[in-house]
């Protein structure tokens, strides 16, 4: 068991050996992601930090330069950063952190092109510079230095390149342990204590561990976080308790941040600086620094531990649009939603590089996070833990049809084989008001018009969710019973609904069908979204429902036409 600091010689030796092995033996970084990025012809970053004797920014970046990229949390400084980009000219006061640290702004850029004294940089960046130099890499890409922080124009040019920047980096330094730009990369060795126990049965929390006479080793991950067990039986024990060793290993603020998601998905090689030790991740393997950890994972075995790990690579090797959109929803968005952003408007920009990549193949309009040609799949989501709508604005300003309006929650897409279903609705058109030129960037408003079949239904809010069906294999229970309205009078139960918000009274709604399947007895099962009027011409989505009716009955009642959702 290693008990050393991640700044130790042995940690650097581990890092160097993994990079060497990956570059010489694996084919990492030459995957289908690379091919797609080549098609996209995204440029190199405009600037890199040159870590020669004298640290400075350089802007004539060449494609054969080796650089590392940094993935980290701004933390509290992110809130300060908004002052920098604010158009409010009365905000003339310099944010506090700029008095302590020298980031790149329009007033510091010319100085930074000549020399950046290391002591004016936040600790996380100083550590990243030390790591990059010790790995023998000359250049480093860090957003707060390589992008002009108070320039919207520079942000608009540089942020679409994010996918290429991380993918082409020789290695991404991922600061999993820190929660802000001043917390540093290396662990606190006090937290890495381990000891052996020879008792045959040990009890920790709800778990009993049997040692079979062998010593069991324990390591504390972080203060107050409890003790995890690592020996040859570790993975079994952790699996039994439904815990994901990777989440514990990485288990960090970084992993809960929306912006860090695409940095991890698109990087070819990552060195994770965690609380306890280094982890290596590349297209080929995920490997802990501590060789006594038994979960060295290779490509085939990886899905058990980290769905992201296999899915992100597998996803872009698909050629079929239906498979691709299922990967976008299941493996990308389900992991992405629930991660934190400081501003709700960051939801689209923080996943824009991945969306751009998917659309190289889908080749369709991108409407507030929904790909138009497969709109029936994109809309088939339900939000976990729906809350009452906020008092001030019902939809936090984001379009109700899109997952971005509810993405502070975890979101689950309907699980089935879309290839076997009949898609009964089609994208007609969209009106989007964007904040920038970037088609995948932040939006002000969006309207989506869909052509399809719809019926009027009646929703009865259920007093308890006990015993009600779950949403497609998830733990999201139905919140409403759905009745069909026949002849305006008689009502019969036809299904269940899952509301996006709680706090609605029982009411009538429009059920807009997304897709359906019909069994041999002509019983039809449909998935559709629930709509209520927003104005005389537009509707708001407020939930999703599953209904079951005979096909002829549905057809006798349904309308058919274009509906605009805001």
Check binding of 81 to Zn ion (CB under 5 A): no
Q: H/E/C letters for each residue in 173-226?
A: EECCCCCCCCCCCCCCHHHCCEEEECCCEEEECCEEEECCCCCEEEEECCCCCC
Check binding of 302 to Zn ion (CB under 5 A): no
Strand partners, 499: 543
Instruction: Tell me the window of 22-30, 86-94, 160-168, 338-346 that interacts with Zn ion (CB under 5 A).
Output: 22-30
Out of 2, 257, 284, 410, name the contact with Zn ion by CB under 5 A: 284
Instruction: Tell me the window of 25-33, 48-56, 401-409, 531-539 that interacts with Zn ion (CB under 5 A).
Output: 25-33
**Residue written as tokens 């084919």?**
27
Q: How many CB atoms sit inside 10 A of residue 499's CB?
A: 21
CA distance 386 to 466: 16
Out of 36, 81, 282, 329, name the contact with Zn ion by CB under 5 A: 282
Instruction: Tell me the window of 23-31, 35-43, 158-166, 396-404 that interacts with Zn ion (CB under 5 A).
Output: 23-31
Q: Of 277, 286, 288, which is closest to residue 305 (Cα–Cα)? A: 286
Check binding of 22 to Zn ion (CB under 5 A): yes
Check binding of 15 to Zn ion (CB under 5 A): no
Q: Which is nearer to Zn ion, 284 or 414 (CB)?
A: 284
Q: Of 231, 277, 232, 229, which is closest to residue 251 (Cα–Cα)? A: 277
Q: Which is nearer to Zn ion, 270 or 282 (CB)?
A: 282
CA distance 158 to 353: 11
Shortest gap between Cβ of 16 and Zn ion (angstroms)? Answer: 14
Give, for 473, the enclosing helix (H) or strand (E).
Answer: none
Distances (CA, A) of 269 to 283, 285, 506: 7, 10, 52
Instruction: Tell me the window of 24-32, 149-157, 402-410, 485-493 that interacts with Zn ion (CB under 5 A).
Output: 24-32
Check binding of 324 to Zn ion (CB under 5 A): no
Q: Is 311 helix (H, G, I), strand (E, B) or coil?
A: helix
Q: Which is nearer to Zn ion, 269 or 410 (CB)?
A: 269
Check binding of 412 to Zn ion (CB under 5 A): no
Burial of 65 (0-12, 13-18, 19+ CB in 10 A): middle
Shortest gap between Cβ of 13 and Zn ion (angstroms)? Answer: 17
Shortest gap between Cβ of 408 and Zn ion (angstroms)? Answer: 35
Check binding of 368 to Zn ion (CB under 5 A): no
Check binding of 134 to Zn ion (CB under 5 A): no
Check binding of 28 to Zn ion (CB under 5 A): yes
Q: Which is nearer to Zn ion, 217 or 280 (CB)?
A: 280
Question: How many angstroms from the chain centroid is the CA of residue 61?
Answer: 29
Instruction: Tell me the window of 185-193, 280-288, 513-521, 535-543 that interacts with Zn ion (CB under 5 A).
Output: 280-288
Check binding of 168 to Zn ion (CB under 5 A): no
Report yes or no: 136 and 76 within 8 Å, Cβ to Cβ: no
Instruction: Tell me the window of 113-121, 208-216, 276-284, 422-430 that interacts with Zn ion (CB under 5 A).
Output: 276-284
The two structure tokens encoding residue 83: 């002052």
Q: Which is nearer to Zn ion, 271 or 333 (CB)?
A: 271
Backbone angles phi, psi at 44, to 5 degrees: -70, 160
Q: Which is nearer to Zn ion, 299 or 415 (CB)?
A: 299
Calculate Rg over the CA atoms of the chain. 26
Check binding of 271 to Zn ion (CB under 5 A): no
Site pattern 226..265 for Zn ion (x: CB under 5 A): ----------------------------------------
**Residue written as tokens 């872009």?**
316
Length of the chain: 566
Out of 26, 123, 133, 134, name the contact with Zn ion by CB under 5 A: 26
Q: Given the rule CB under 5 A, which residues bind Zn ion?
A: 22, 26, 28, 282, 284
């Amino acid at each position: 068991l290693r008990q050393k600091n991640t700044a130790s010689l042995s940690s650097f030796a581990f890092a160097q050996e993994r990079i060497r092995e990956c570059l010489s033996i694996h084919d990492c970084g030459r995957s289908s992601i690379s091919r797609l990025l080549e098609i996209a012809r995204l440029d190199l970053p405009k600037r890199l930090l040159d870590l020669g004797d004298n640290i400075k920014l350089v802007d004539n970046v060449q494609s054969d330069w080796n650089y590392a990229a940094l993935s980290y949390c701004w933390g509290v400084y992110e809130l300060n950063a908004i002052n920098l980009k604010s158009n409010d000219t009365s905000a003339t006061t310099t944010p506090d952190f700029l008095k302590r640290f020298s980031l790149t702004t329009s007033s510091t850029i010319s100085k930074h092109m000549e020399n950046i004294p290391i002591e004016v940089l936040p600790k996380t960046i100083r550590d990243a510079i030390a790591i990059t130099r010790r790995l023998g890499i000359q250049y480093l890409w860090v957003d707060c230095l390589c992008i002009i922080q108070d320039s919207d124009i520079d942000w608009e040019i540089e942020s679409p390149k994010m996918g290429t920047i991380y993918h082409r980096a020789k290695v991404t330094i991922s600061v999993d342990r820190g929660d802000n730009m001043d917390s540093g990369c290396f662990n606190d060795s006090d937290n890495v204590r381990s000891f052996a126990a020879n008792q045959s049965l040990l009890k920790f929390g709800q778990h009993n561990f049997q040692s079979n006479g062998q010593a069991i080793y324990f390591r504390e991950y972080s203060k107050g976080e409890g003790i995890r067990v690592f020996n040859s039986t570790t993975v079994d024990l952790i699996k039994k308790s439904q815990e994901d060793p990777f989440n514990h290993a990485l288990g960090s603020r970084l992993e809960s941040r929306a912006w860090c998601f695409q940095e991890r998905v698109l990087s070819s090689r990552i060195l994770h600086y965690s609380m306890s030790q280094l982890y290596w991740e590349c297209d080929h393997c995920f490997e802990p620094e501590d060789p006594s950890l038994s979960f060295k994972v290779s490509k085939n075995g990886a899905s058990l531990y980290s769905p992201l790990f296999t899915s992100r690579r597998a996803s872009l090797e698909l050629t079929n649009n239906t498979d691709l959109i299922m990967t976008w929803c299941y493996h990308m968005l389900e992991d992405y939603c629930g991660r934190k952003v400081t501003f709700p408007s960051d939801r689209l920009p923080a996943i824009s590089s991945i969306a751009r990549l998917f659309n190289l193949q889908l080749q369709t309009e991108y409407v507030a996070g929904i790909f138009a040609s497969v709109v029936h799949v994109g809309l088939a989501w339900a939000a976990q833990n729906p809350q009452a709508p906020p008092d001030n604005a019902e939809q936090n300003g984001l379009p109700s049809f899109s997952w971005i309006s509810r993405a502070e929650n975890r979101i689950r897409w309907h699980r089935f084989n879309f290839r076997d279903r009949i898609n009964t609705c089609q994208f007609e058109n969209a009106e989007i008001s964007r904040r920038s030129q970037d088609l995948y960037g932040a939006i002000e408003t969006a309207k989506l018009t869909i052509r399809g079949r719809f019926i009027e239904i009646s929703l009865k809010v259920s007093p308890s969710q006990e015993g009600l069906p779950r949403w497609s294999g998830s733990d999201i229970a139905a919140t409403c019973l759905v009745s069909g309205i026949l002849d305006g009078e008689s009502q019969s139960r036809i299904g269940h609904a899952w509301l996006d918000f709680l706090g609605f009274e029982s009411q009538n709604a429009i059920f807009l069908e997304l897709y359906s399947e019909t069994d041999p007895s002509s019983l039809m099962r449909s998935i559709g979204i629930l709509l209520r009027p927003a104005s005389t011409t537009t509707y708001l989505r407020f939930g999703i429902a599953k209904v079951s009716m005979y096909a002829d009955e549905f057809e006798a009642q349904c309308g058919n036409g274009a509906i605009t959702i805001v």
